[in-house]
Structure 1
Amino acid sequence: MKHKLWWMFILFFILPLAGFITTTYFVTNGEVLPLDKALLNLVKPIESAFLTKFMSFFSHLGSTGPVVVLSFIFLAIIYVLYRKKDEVLLFVIVSLGSTGINQNLKFVFKRERPFEQIVVENGFSYPSGHTMAAVSLYGIVTFLFWRHISTVWGRILLIILSSIMISVIGFSRIYLRVHYPSDIVAAFLVSGMWLFVSISIYQYVMEKRYEKRRI
């Protein structure tokens, strides 16, 4: 069991941390900028009025207002269906923590957004707040509902839907040229680490509570 936990720590924390440090090094030194711009240019040929509206809609789902509304909906479902106050608390901690981490990182790195934006966005670029919000929201939703879904197909559907939402929201920020691809990569890595740490602490606390009840 301890061996398994060690490998999970390496896979979901050490490797993402190394990836974030490496990405940040190239971003702060400007070495990744040519690649970022080249990737943005690759997306330009697929631009269309319909796709812009489509991507704008999904991008909006990652903004503060919709995320708050969706969070309240998921919180209500979790509490009404399962009466798990500890799961509600975990949900709140993950969501608020993700926002706090993102704002602090943006303030530290102060990276400017791409110049040619399809939609106008203010604030700093690195890492993507919309993407971090999406990863945190749908990541914790997947973890919490997975625990209560007993069927294999139900769990597969949960993972597919969450993965689609995270991927499309992340790509929409690149398509709309309000973020560089490296902003999205960093957001995935940071949010992944935050989810792993939060869930690990939650499971540790729950196991300790269970052990105390058995005594």
Structure 2
Amino acid sequence: MSPKLKFTIVLLLSLLSLCCFILVASMIKGHWIAQFDQSIISFIQGLESPGITSFMKIFTFIGSTTMVVVITLAAALFLYFVLHHRLELIFLLVMMSATGIINQLLKHYFVRQRPDLHRLIEETGYSFPSGHSMAAFALYSSLAFLLWRHIASRTGRISLIVLSSFMILCIGTSRIYLGVHYPSDIFGGYLASGFCFTLAVWLFQWYKEYRAYSKQSK
């Protein structure tokens, strides 16, 4: 696949994520999305048990701001001191910072209250889009993207994608299970973060190609 085609696909994915986010955001106060949210909440919370609750609390803790900062800093140190990557380090830090800022801006724009049905933990702040979901998608997608080329085997790469997807899905699901987010908050968070991530990848790859071209032309 040519670099130009790759750039086009990534850019199209970014625009698709943005369009889907706008669609979800436009429906969060509608009757259809309320039915959708309720059906998903009923199914997930219907699985409640002490063991599952403990499991979900672990993942919601992993997705907390404190843990996201710790994991991001640990990954940044690994990128800089072990892999000696400066550009990748900048990508990760900018991605995580931008995601956090955008999440707060969106929350204060939509001002959606959290569900008040069956909460197993207490949370403050607005609901849409989910900060845990946005941060999880941004962090684990970025790590998968940055570490991909350092894994030679097909099995290792598949394991990386599966682990990243598992973390993203479990953190998002934990927020629904614990009663602090609507499913549409989670999907909205994934889509908003997906837009940010694919746009960042497009810019990152474009800059690398531009820098390589500039070196060759000298």
TM-score range, shorter chain: over 0.9
Q: Which residue of 2 aligns with 1:26?
A: 27
SS at match of 2:46: helix
| Residue 71 of structure 1: how far off its partner (Å) | 0.7
In structure 2, relative to structure 1, the CA distance for the partners of 1:209 and 1:7 (3 Å cut) is closer
Q: Which amino acid aligns with 2:122?
A: V
Q: Which residue of 1 aligns with 2:155?
A: 153
In structure 2, relative to structure 1, the CA distance for the partners of 1:159 and 1:3 (3 Å cut) is closer
| Equivalent residues, number | 214
Q: Which amino acid aligns with 1:183?
A: D
Q: Which residue of 1 aligns with 2:99?
A: 98
Matches within 5 A, 1:123-138: 123-138=125-140
Q: Which amino acid aligns with 1:36?
A: D
Asked if residue 205 in structure 1 is aligned to residue 217 in structure 2, the reply is no
Gaps of 5+ in 1: none
Normalization by structure 2: what TM-score?
0.93
SS at match of 1:46: coil
Query: 2:167 & 2:45 partners in 1: Cα distance?
Result: 22
SS at match of 2:151: coil
Name the Cα RMSD after superposition: 1.3
In structure 2, relative to structure 1, the CA distance for the partners of 1:108 and 1:30 (3 Å cut) is farther
**Is contact 1:28–1:109 with CA below 8 Å preserved after alignment?**
no
Query: 2:66 & 2:204 partners in 1: Cα distance?
Result: 27
Instruction: State the Cα deviation string for residues 59-118 of structure 1 (Å, max 9, x = none).
Output: 111111001111111111111221111111110000000001100000000000010311
Q: Which residue of 2 aligns with 1:44?
A: 45
| Residue 50 of structure 1: how far off its partner (Å) | 1.2
**Is contact 1:129–1:187 with CA below 8 Å preserved after alignment?**
yes
Normalization by structure 1: what TM-score?
0.95
**Is contact 2:44–2:177 with CA below 8 Å preserved after alignment?**
yes
Q: Which amino acid aligns with 1:45?
A: G
SS at match of 2:67: helix
Query: 1:185 & 1:46 partners in 2: Cα distance?
Result: 20
Matches within 5 A, 1:62-81: 62-81=63-82
Query: 1:130 & 1:166 partners in 2: Cα distance?
Result: 9
